[in-house]
């Protein structure tokens, strides 16, 4: 499912116009993005949590040349599914 399809499903289930549902979806995604960008965790009970994880500096190989290189430290976003999402996925056949 892509974003427009999700907005349509929200519109249908919440009795909103597709435009209004799209606006609501954009606000939700913007708030999650802004919170995680500030280093705050976002927990949606039953669905899951978005957290910022730090990756330490490490060494790796350039796949084109085979030379050893240093990969700098960085931050990344992690998602941990909640119990409700895990159960919903586990019970589907």
- The model's pTM is 0.78
pLDDT digits (tens, 9 = 90+) for 31-81: 999 999 999 999 999 999 999 999 999 999 999 999 999 999 999 999 999
pLDDT number for residue 93: 56
| Cβ-based neighbours of 14, under 8 Å, separated by 6 or more | 21
Mean pLDDT confidence for 79-93: 88
pLDDT number for residue 92: 65
Quickly tell me which residue has 């040349």 as its tokens: 65
pLDDT number for residue 16: 94
pLDDT number for residue 91: 77
């Amino acid at each position: 499912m892509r974003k427009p399809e999700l907005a349509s499903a929200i519109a249908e289930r919440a009795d909103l116009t597709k435009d209004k549902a799209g606006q609501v979806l954009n606000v939700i995604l913007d708030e999650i993005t802004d919170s995680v960008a500030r280093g705050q965790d976002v927990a949606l009970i039953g669905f899951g949590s978005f957290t910022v994880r730090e990756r330490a500096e490490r060494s790796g190989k350039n796949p084109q040349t085979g030379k050893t290189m240093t990969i700098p430290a960085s931050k990344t976003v992690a998602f941990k599914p909640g119990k409700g999402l895990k159960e919903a996925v586990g019970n589907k056949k």
